Copies of this chain bind each other. A is one copy, B any other.
Amino acid sequence: MGDPGLPKLQFAPFSSALDVGFWHELTQKKLNEYRLDEAPKDIKGYYYNGDSAGLPARLTLEFSAFDMSTPTPARCCPAVGTLYNTNTLEAFKTADKKLLLEQAANEIWESIKSGSALENPVLLNKFLLLTFADLKKYHFYYWFCYPALCLPESIPLIQRPVGLDQRFSPKQIQALERAYDDLCQTEGVTALPYFLIKYDDNMVLVSLLKHYNDFFQDQRTKITVGVYDPCNLAQYPGWPLRNFLVLTAHRWRGSFQSVEVLCFRDRTVQGARGTAHSIVFEVRLPEMAFSPDCPKAVGWEKNQKGGMGPRMVNLSECMDPKRLAESSVDLNLKLMCWRLVPTLDLDKVVSVKCLLLGAGTLGCNVARTLMGWGVRHVTFVDNAKISYSNPVRQPLYEFEDCLGGGKPKALAAADRLQKIFPGVNARGFNMSIPMPGHPVNFSSVTLEQAHRDVEQLEQLIESHDVIFLLMDTRESRWLPAVIAASKRKLVINAALGFDTFVVMRHGLKKPKQQGAGDLCPSHSVASADLLGSSLFANIPGYKLGCYFCNDVVAPGDSTRDRTLDQQCTVSRPGLAMIAGALAVELMVSVLQHPEGGYAIASSSDDRMNEPPTSLGLVPHQIRGFLSRFDNVLPVSLAFDKCTACSSKVLDQYEREGFNFLAKVFNSSHSFLEDLTGLTLLHQETQAAEIWDMSDDETV
């Protein structure tokens, strides 16, 4: 029954202002916390009543929106909201927006009826945010809603809006500002969304809503209320007034017929505070139908075209490409955690520092797989240059890299990783690894060079977590195997035949601090233990063998007299990809095991058992046979006469350092074989054979 003669009050709606930081944080929450959880989430925004003229009234959501305890920015007014983030675009589209709005409106209505909105007026500033985050494309779909309860009829303006300076004297304005500031300070808030006002020529008082009884006890027909108003328009209040007017009508219509509204606007221009541009008007309080039912509500934001529809923001274009690449790379990994492997500890993988010895076919494929796993720290060592046959099998090189004699592989590989993913920390060392049976000259600079190479390699192994042995000769694996065993680093070894491969983790010796006597627990494994397969169950990591444990001949110069097909690693082209991928997957599985490199080795027999990690088995070795498309998982014990990891070798290395190594480089097989006792073993074997033959003859 509004008065047709009076103009009706109209309101300027909020514009949602969703910061890039908000979307970034939503991305993180979705990936790391919400995952597939679609339950509503509490979020928090704010609005400001001090914007320059011309700006729309904005409700801002920043990266901090997800932390309800985060302080509201100074002089801003908080708004609390509910986030509905769907898992699919389809769910986003089909969400029941009417129902969501009704639910929110009802909560507001209940807070009005119960009086809790008087106690905590922020309850009137409720908003909804419906989102779908397409994290593959960085497209964010959203629909914002600020529910406003509707009065049964429109609200007649008794007095049109005028500037505060037309109603208040400068002194009154000053008094208002002081009163407002004091109340904020007393309450410990950044802003008062709604407040009560009393004034006369000499003073202005403000009060909290909840004190209305005391505050308004001497009022007759009219009260004055203040609203923190984000709107800039001279003729219209902003959206927050709406629910407050409903509260006012519901609460005080019985006592007062009209209400004077101060839309409090509080701007600082060139250091001077100004609230004089606030607006004041008077409305006749509508006849509220005192039905307990919630009034109908409106509030879904229009889209950019002015229609009812969602908005979309494409952040793939405005984010820093390199940062975008980083978060995109993380995405696929984090997706694994959502549904498939919730217990996956990605940090253990992503943070691991990998040293790749060999940047050839295996090295390139291992590096590619490490990149896929998000490993950020990869270092290559190689002394070869890229030749024309390499790029088709070594997936970090191209034809251009072969020109002019070829780039050094280690450096080119590191460069390529940066080109693939700028966020990676990749380095290359173009250096040789000294080898047993490849003498280093005592008379020339070569000895010094070998010394430097050994020191460099020792430093590199020390500063990495996992050492990959990916060379193409047996003897080049010896030195890093010894150093890594001594430094207790996890070693992953891969080697190719024509259509067979072995991928293995070296046994990881027990930590040194457990006492010298316990340095290498595998000592106690007599060779007799190697007999009988039943002994190969439940072998812990520290008892496992290394690449050299199965050999009874020390490594030597294997390249010297080989034909071309022996020099090239001639293998079926798919083999290196498979072995390289499995080497990394084995590392990841080991890292996921709570005992890491000390984990008990899984064997083929364990395939039917409960796996020890969320990713499955942690074998000692994977031996693959491409012609049969088959893998087996052998387990073997450390050998007490091993030329690389036995205590005799490690002790000498740790005592004598380079002097010991130089002896190995310059000597024939027999030096290591004498040291480890292999020579004696050979003699005994021979003696046994001779005995057998005589024995036969005497029969």
Q: A90-B560, A619-B629, A627-B617 are in contact. Are A368 and B395 (CB under 8 A)?
A: yes
Residues of B within 8 A of A578 (CB): 577-578, 581-582
A399, B372: Cβ atoms closer than 8 Å = no
**Docked complex Cα distance between A403 and B578 (Å):** 31
Task: Choose from B321, B365, B565, B573 the contact partner of A340 (Cβ within 8 Å).
Answer: B565
Residues of B within 8 A of A630 (CB): 607, 631
A88, B393: Cβ atoms closer than 8 Å = no
Q: A321-B402, A399-B420, A622-B629 are in contact. Are A585 and B581 (CB under 8 A)?
A: no
A562 at the B interface (CB under 8 A): yes
B332, A568: Cβ atoms closer than 8 Å = yes
Contact mask for chain A residues 148-168; partner B; CB cutoff 8 A; 1 contact, 0 none: 000000000000000000000
Interface stretch among A383-391, A438-446, A647-655, A660-668? Answer: A383-391
B626, A616: Cβ atoms closer than 8 Å = yes
Residues of B within 8 A of A1 (CB): none
Partner-B contacts on A (CB < 8 A): 36, 87-88, 90-91, 134-137, 316-317, 321-322, 324-325, 327-329, 331-332, 335-336, 338-341, 365, 368-369, 371-374, 387-389, 391-393, 395, 397-400, 402-403, 405, 419-422, 498-499, 560-565, 567-568, 570, 572-575, 577-578, 580-582, 584-585, 588, 607, 611, 615-617, 619, 622, 626-631, 633
- Most B-side CB within 10 Å, residue of A134, A317, A388, A626: A388
Q: For residue A609, which residue of chain B has the nearest CB?
A: B628
B405, A419: Cβ atoms closer than 8 Å = no
A335, B368: Cβ atoms closer than 8 Å = no
Residues of B within 8 A of A562 (CB): 88
22 A-B contacts (beta carbon < 8 Å):
A36-B565, A90-B560, A134-B564, A321-B403, A325-B389, A325-B391, A325-B399, A329-B388, A331-B389, A332-B393, A332-B568, A369-B574, A398-B419, A399-B421, A572-B615, A575-B581, A577-B581, A611-B627, A616-B626, A616-B628, A616-B629, A629-B631
Q: For residue A38, which residue of chain B has the nearest CB?
A: B563
Task: Choose from B332, B369, B399, B499 the contact partner of A389 (Cβ within 8 Å).
Answer: B332
**Docked complex Cα distance between A499 and B374 (Å):** 17
Residues of B within 8 A of A389 (CB): 136, 325, 328-329, 331-332
Q: How far is the CB of A423 from chain B (nearest CB, A)?
A: 9
Residues of B within 8 A of A626 (CB): 585, 616
Residues of B within 8 A of A422 (CB): 399
Q: How far is the CB of A31 from chain B (nearest CB, A)?
A: 9
Residues of B within 8 A of A575 (CB): 581
A573, B499: Cβ atoms closer than 8 Å = no
B402, A561: Cβ atoms closer than 8 Å = no
Q: How far is the CB of A37 from chain B (nearest CB, A)?
A: 11
B335, A568: Cβ atoms closer than 8 Å = yes
Excluding A325-B388, A582-B629, 4 further A-B contacts by CB distance (< 8 Å) are A328-B387, A332-B568, A340-B570, A400-B419
A402, B325: Cβ atoms closer than 8 Å = yes
Q: How far is the CB of A615 from chain B (nearest CB, A)?
A: 6
Q: A87-B563, A135-B564, A627-B616 are in contact. Are A421 and B573 (CB under 8 A)?
A: no
Q: A372-B573, A389-B332, A615-B627 are in contact. Are A88 and B582 (CB under 8 A)?
A: no
B372, A561: Cβ atoms closer than 8 Å = no
**Docked complex Cα distance between A399 and B84 (Å):** 33
Residues of B within 8 A of A331 (CB): 389, 568
A321, B388: Cβ atoms closer than 8 Å = yes
Task: Choose from B136, B368, B499 the contact partner of A616 (Cβ within 8 Å).
Answer: B499
- Most B-side CB within 10 Å, residue of A331, A392, A405: A392
Q: How far is the CB of A206 from chain B (nearest CB, A)?
A: 49
A577, B365: Cβ atoms closer than 8 Å = yes
Residues of B within 8 A of A560 (CB): 90
B582, A574: Cβ atoms closer than 8 Å = yes
Q: A136-B389, A136-B564, A402-B325 are in contact. Are A573 and B369 (CB under 8 A)?
A: yes
**Docked complex Cα distance between A399 and B421 (Å):** 6
**Docked complex Cα distance between A573 and B403 (Å):** 32
Task: Choose from B91, B373, B398, B565 the contact partner of A420 (Cβ within 8 Å).
Answer: B398
**Docked complex Cα distance between A491 and B387 (Å):** 34
Q: A136-B389, A336-B570 are in contact. Are A499 and B395 (CB under 8 A)?
A: no
Q: A137-B387, A565-B338, A577-B365 are in contact. Are A617 and B629 (CB under 8 A)?
A: yes
